[in-house]
């Protein structure tokens, strides 16, 4: 039923669910039935003995009140008055014996007529001779029996004898065994019904658990947890009522939720979207949500069980991180393009030098080499001396060629000096910001006969100040603040994200960005961000 690998042979294989559940339920039911049977047996034994005793007492009292018994005790045992009555009562009630004695313990009746006139055997007779009813278990001339003693009184209420009724203990135990047998049949029926209930319960549970065993479920849960926590994307799930049921570490980091804090404090726009998806059952793809100053790219899908929506789950990632990665890739591509372009130019220069050598025009060769070296110093050499980060240097070199192709001059100020940094986030933000500002300037000056973009980068005391200016058409003063709003653009639909992302990333680093502009004259952006320099530059 599952793709889980079987447990290694060196590890003890856990019991299956049906075996474990059967053993547990059987042990519980068996223990309960055993206790019930013990209590029932004790109660049956006591109730049966009490019933037998009451029956015997009733027979003895009836005989003690019989006039013939009283009259017989006035005669001798050989008068044969009491013996027939006692024998008839013994046979009628299936008793072991019915014995009547006088005050000296002499028998007037007995199943064995040879014992008539002899003294009664047993030390349990004296209390009855004193007028007390008593019950005992004792052995006499016949067998061990339950013996009941009742005094006999004459008409003047003077005790004249004792009636003793004996019931065989074997018959008592036989009656108790019959009662216990009924209990056994009841317990066996209970076991049968319990077995059927266990079988049905196991089948229902197996169907609910998709046929998985407990150890397979635990293994799947551990794998699921490891998978969720290893994802670079945030994962957040809610149930049908909108309560958060799952959140991984990455989601907590993106949503700024410390470990152990309630997940209901997550981004309200994100939770609202998930609740709506769980109610409508309609998935949402690549939706952008703003959270804690970040732009999240979210996918939300409903979670269904048996074609019923039971919740929703969202995977999301910080879009600023994706944008930073794209800007970094753009910088590297521009750097490679610039190197490729310079490679072609260098090969062309080598061909010129070779041709001048063949022509022995050494004066022109010297002039050409000096001019080439000067161009290198004013182009690549200047950038490499002022910008120590190879990524930013390659990026600027690419932008210079891009501006040159657009008929615009991109000038790097003489005061520029940027130390290298190991903080990739700061490099990515700088590339994103400069890329957006330079591209916006190029777009603004499109169609102009000529134009110039000025760039000043200055590091001091852990902060990097950037100024990007252009002599384009400028920005209307009433629109200066709106240009940083997401979706605001004068270039058409699906634009207006660059400056929004740039400002968002700058603020996340703890920096700021401002703009000044005079329509028809200039536009100038000022950027101030922290910069973790690897060297101390005055």
In Å, how far are 27, 239, 242, 282, 308 from 279, measured between CA atoms? 45, 10, 9, 8, 11
How far is residue 197's CA from residue 216's CA, in Å, rounded to a whole number? Answer: 25
Angle in degrees, CA 291, 297, 299, rounded to 5 = 115
- Where the chain has pLDDT below 70, the residues are 1-15, 17-18, 48, 140-141, 143, 172, 176, 180, 259-267, 292-294, 320-346, 372-382, 487-497, 534-538
Task: Return the pLDDT at 9.
Answer: 41
pTM over 0.75: no
Instruction: Give the tokens for residue 57.
Output: 């007492």
Neighbours of 378 (CB within 10 A): 10
Nearest Cα residue to 444 out of 411, 477, 408, 412: 408
| DSSP track, 183-208 | HHHHHHHHHHHHHHHHHHHHHHHHHH
With contact defined as beta carbons under 8 Å apart, do 429 and 331 qualify? no
| DSSP track, 90-104 | HHHTT-SEEEEEETT
DSSP classification of residue 122: S
Task: Return the pLDDT at 537.
Answer: 40
Nearest Cα residue to 51 out of 167, 164, 217: 167
Task: Return the pLDDT at 188.
Answer: 78
């Amino acid at each position: 039923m599952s793709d889980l690998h079987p447990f290694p042979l060196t590890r003890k294989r856990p019991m299956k669910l049906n075996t474990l559940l059967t053993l547990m339920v059987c042990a519980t039911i068996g223990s309960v039935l055993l206790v019930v049977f013990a209590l029932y047996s004790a109660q049956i034994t006591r109730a049966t003995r009490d019933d037998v005793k009451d029956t015997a007492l009733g027979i003895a009292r009836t005989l003690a009140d019989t006039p013939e018994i009283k009259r017989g005790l006035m005669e001798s045992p050989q008068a044969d008055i009491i013996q027939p009555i006692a024998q008839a009562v013994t046979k009628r009630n299936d008793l072991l014996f019915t014995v009547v004695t006088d005050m000296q313990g002499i028998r007037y009746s007995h199943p064995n007529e040879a014992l008539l006139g002899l003294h009664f055997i047993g030390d349990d007779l004296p209390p009855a001779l004193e007028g007390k009813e008593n019950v005992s278990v004792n052995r006499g001339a016949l067998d061990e029996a339950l013996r009941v003693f009742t005094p006999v009184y004459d008409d003047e209420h003077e005790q004249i004898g004792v009636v003793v009724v004996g019931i065989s203990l074997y018959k008592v135990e036989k009656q108790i065994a019959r009662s216990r047998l009924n209990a056994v049949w009841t317990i066996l029926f209970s076991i049968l019904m319990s077995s059927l209930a266990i079988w049905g319960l196991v089948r229902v549970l197996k169907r609910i658990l998709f046929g998985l065993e407990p150890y397979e479920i635990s293994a799947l849960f551990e794998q699921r947890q490891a998978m969720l926590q290893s994802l670079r994307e945030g994962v957040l799930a809610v149930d049908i009522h909108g309560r958060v049921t799952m959140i991984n570490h990455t989601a907590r980091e993106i949503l700024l939720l410390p470990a152990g804090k309630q997940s209901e404090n997550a981004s309200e726009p994100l939770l609202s979207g998930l609740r709506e998806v769980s109610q409508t059952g309609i998935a949402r793809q690549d939706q952008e949500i703003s959270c804690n100053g970040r732009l999240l790219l979210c996918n939300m899908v409903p979670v269904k069980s048996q074609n019923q929506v039971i919740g929703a789950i969202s995977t999301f990632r910080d879009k600023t991180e994706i944008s930073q990665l794209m800007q970094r890739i753009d910088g590297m591509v521009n750097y490679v393009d610039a190197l490729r372009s310079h490679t072609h130019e260098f090969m062309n220069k080598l061909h010129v030098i070779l041709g001048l050598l063949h022509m022995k025009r050494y004066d022109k060769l010297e002039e050409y080499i000096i001019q080439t070296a000067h161009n290198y110093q004013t182009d690549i050499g200047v950038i490499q001396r002022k910008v120590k980060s190879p990524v930013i240097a390659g990026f600027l070199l690419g932008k210079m060629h891009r501006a040159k192709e657009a008929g615009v001059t991109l000038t790097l100020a003489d005061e520029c000096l940027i130390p290298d940094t190991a903080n990739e986030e700061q490099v990515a933000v700088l590339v994103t910001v400069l890329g957006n500002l330079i591209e916006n300037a190029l777009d603004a000056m499109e169609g102009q006969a000529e134009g110039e973009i000025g760039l000043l980068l200055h590091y001091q005391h852990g902060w990097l100040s950037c100024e990007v200016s252009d002599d384009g058409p400028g920005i209307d003063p009433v629109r200066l603040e709106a240009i940083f709003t997401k979706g605001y653009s004068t270039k058409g639909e699906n634009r207006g994200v660059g400056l929004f992302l740039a400002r968002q990333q700058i603020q996340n680093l703890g920096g700021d960005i401002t703009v000044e502009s005079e329509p028809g004259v200039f536009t100038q952006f000022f950027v101030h961000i922290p910069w973790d320099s690897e060297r101390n530059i005055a």
